[in-house]
Amino acid sequence: MKLDPAVVKLLSLDPEHTTVSSAGGGGCSSASTSKITEKGSDGKERCFFMKTGSGKEAKVMFEGEHASLNAIHTAVPTLCPQSFGWGSFTSSAGTSFLVTDFLTLTSRRSSTSSTASLASKLASLHTTPAPIPDGYDKPQFGFPATTCCGDTPQDNSFKSSWAEFYAQNRLRFILRRAEAANGKDGELHDLVEKSASKVVPRLLGDDHLNGGKGVVPVVVHGDLWSGNAGVGVFGTDAGKGEAEEVVYDSSACYAHSEFELGIMKMFGGFGGSFLKEYHGLVPKTEPVEEYEDRVALYELYHHLNHYALFGGGYRSGAVSIMKGLVRKYGSS
C-alpha cells in the first residue's frame, strides 16, 4: 500500500523508507486500519497507527476522536495513544484518515510493574478540571468537537448546567435518533421525557449534587466498555518498555465523572477491586445514597444509543431502567 502524500506531510516521513501494513481494530463499523513504519538511517523505527474511512461520517468521527484522544492525553499522557492529526487524502478527497501512536497490545501487566493502574489513571483524569472553552469564562459541559459513541455523532454543544446537558444533549437527543431509526414509540417517548424532565433534575440538579455545589466538568472517555481498554506498549515491540494500562476509541466530553461509570456497568469487565481503588481516589458524589441510581441513569443513555444503532433487545433494558427511576423519582 502506498502512503498518501497528506500523511507523509503530516508525519514528516521519508516515503522511500516507510512501509504500510494492515492492523486490527477500527473502533467503528466502517474504518480500516493500518500500521505505518518508518525505518531511519540509524536503524530505529517510528511506528504509527492509522484509521481510514470514506464519506462525511468518517470525517466527523476522526475529527472527534483526534480531539478526544488529545484531551485525555493532555490530562494523563500514559492513559491513551496520542493523536498526531486527521485529514483527507490528497489522492482521494472523500477518504479521511486519523493517525495516532502505535500501541502493541499485550497481556495484563506483570505483578512487578511500576506503571500506574487503570483505576488510578482514570481517577487522575476524573479529578482534573476540564479546560475553559474559547469564549467562556469557566469550564462547560460538552466538548469543542462532535464525538461519536459507536457510530452515533453526539451533540456536544456547551451548557453550564450538567442536568440540562444530560437531559437535552444526551437523553432527548438519543431519543430522536432512536425514533428515526426504529419509528415512533409512545411508551419509550413518554418514559424518556419523564426521565429528562423529572428524574434528571431530581438526581443531577446543580443545587442538589455535592450539597448544592454541583459538579466540576472533567474529561471522560465516554465509551469505556472493556473492549476499549487494554494493556500495551507504545511502540513496535512488546518486549521493550513496560506495559501500560490504556484506553482507546474514545468519545470524550466534559461531563460529571460518574457518567463514565454507566457504560462500564452496562457491559461489565471492571470488577469490585477496580471500583474500590477508583473510589478511594475519587469519592462518590454526594448524596452517596443516590449513587447507584445516578449510575443507572447514566447507563440508560447507552441502552438508548444501542437501541438507536442496533434495535432489538436494547429497548427493554432502557425501559426497565426508566420505569424504576420514574417510579422512584418521577413525582418529585
Residue position matching grid coordinates 498518501: 4
Rounded to 10°, the helix 186-194/314-329 angle is 40
Residue position matching grid coordinates 465516554: 222
All 3 cell numbers of residue 290?
A: 443516590
Q: What is the C-alpha to C-alpha distance for residues 254 and 216, in angstroms, rounded to an integer?
A: 9
What are phi and psi for residue 219, nearest 5 degrees? -75, 130
Instruction: Give the pLDDT means over successive 10-residue stretches in the chain (332 positions).
Output: 92 92 65 90 87 95 98 96 96 94 78 82 98 96 97 97 98 98 97 98 97 96 95 73 90 98 92 95 98 98 98 94 96 70
pLDDT of residue 23: 82
Q: What is the C-alpha to C-alpha distance for residues 198 and 196, in angstroms, rounded to an integer?
A: 6
pLDDT of residue 331: 79
Sheet holding 103-105, edge to edge: 103-105, 229-234, 244-247
Domains of the chain: 5-103 (3.30.200.20), 141-226+251-330 (3.90.1200.10)
Angstrom CA distances, 7 to 25, 26, 37, 259, stand at 20, 18, 12, 35
pTM of the model: 0.94
84 with 11: CB under 8 angstroms?
A: yes
pLDDT of residue 87: 97
Catalytic residues, by residue number, are: 223
Cβ count within 10 A of residue 260: 24
Q: H/E/C letters for each residue in the chain?
A: CCCCHHHHHHHCCCHHHEEEEECCCCCCCCCEEEEEEEECCCCCEEEEEEEEEEHHHHHHHHHHHHHHHHHHHHHCCCCCCCEEEEEECCCCCCEEEEEEECEEECCCCCCCCCCCCHHHHHHHHHCCECCCCCCCCCCCEECCCCCEECCEECCCCCECCHHHHHHHHHHHHHHHHHHHHHCCCHHHHHHHHHHHHHHHHHHHCCCCHHHHCCCCCEEECCCCCHHHEEEEEECCCCCCCCCEEEECCCCCEEECHHHHHHHHHHHCCCCHHHHHHHHHHCCCCCCHHHHHHHHHHHHHHHHHHHHHHHCCCHHHHHHHHHHHHHHHHCCC
